[in-house]
Amino acid sequence: MQDTLESALSAVASAAVRVHCAGRTDSGVHGFGQVIHFEAPVQRSPKSWVLGGNANLPEDVRLHWAQPVAGDFHARFSALSRRYRYLIANTPVRPALMAGQLTWQRYPLDHELMHAEAQSLLGERDFSAFRAAGCQSRTPMRNVQAISVSRRGDLVVVDIRANAFLHHMVRNIVGSLLAVGSARAAPGWLAQLLAGRDRTRAADTAPAAGLYLVEVEYPARYKLPRAPAEPLLPGA
């Protein structure tokens, strides 16, 4: 996506533009609440950056707003927290609609048990058990500020907010929550995994298709607008 954005904004500027993102997402992950910043090589109005950028972007990528920011702002390093949402279609038959935008789980899920299990992840912890082998972070410590699992009809929704995330951290957490919710693992397993700090003992990584970067929070002094609500993301 970064190359695509840089190409579109460079067309507006008639000069090379390099963007910096709030967070990197894997292929197949959806980034509705992504925030970027760049050093503008020429002067353009915020409206011109948005309309001109969108005119040069594919249909599945859109700019929502643009505004000047303070010189010390950085899309990644100024962020206070990131919020992700994971959508699971819990139906006997794989849904035909929203293919590539949901994960499917045909076994009944106990979302209340999943929610209770997820609370053991709150706070600043060592998340080595949910860290990809190729993660390049210097520390496995992350602070999970909120996590919930709820059901909206046939849709099970995992919502998680943290100061930052390790590579595959959300997908690895969801994979283990699915194991508990479908009774393939016993209650209390997530707390044991967290304490053990061993990725090989956790469940498989959940697919990328159900994961959305919903929102990035910044200090109020930057006066950034919130991401607009997305109708396809329940409770966004």
Q: Which residues are catalytic?
A: 26
162: which strand partners?
82, 144
DSSP letter at 74?
A: -
Helices (H), the chain: 2-13, 46-55, 111-118, 169-181, 189-196
81-89 vs 211-217, strand pairing mode: antiparallel
Output b/e per residue, 78-116; b: 16+ Cβ within 10 A: bbebbbbbbbbbbeeeeeeeeeebbbebeeebbbebbbe
CA dihedral over 101, 164, 151, 178, signed as positive or negative: positive
Nearest to 193 by CA among 178, 179, 176: 176
**C-alpha distances in angstroms, 86 versus 191, 225, 234?**
20, 23, 10
Taking the C-alpha atoms of residue 212 and residue 236, their distance in angstroms, rounded to an integer, is 10
Q: Tokens standing for 95? A: 């849904």
Which 3 state secondary structure label does DSSP give 217? strand
**Distance, CA of 19 to CA of 2 (rounded, Å):** 7
Tokens 């990809």 label which residue? 132
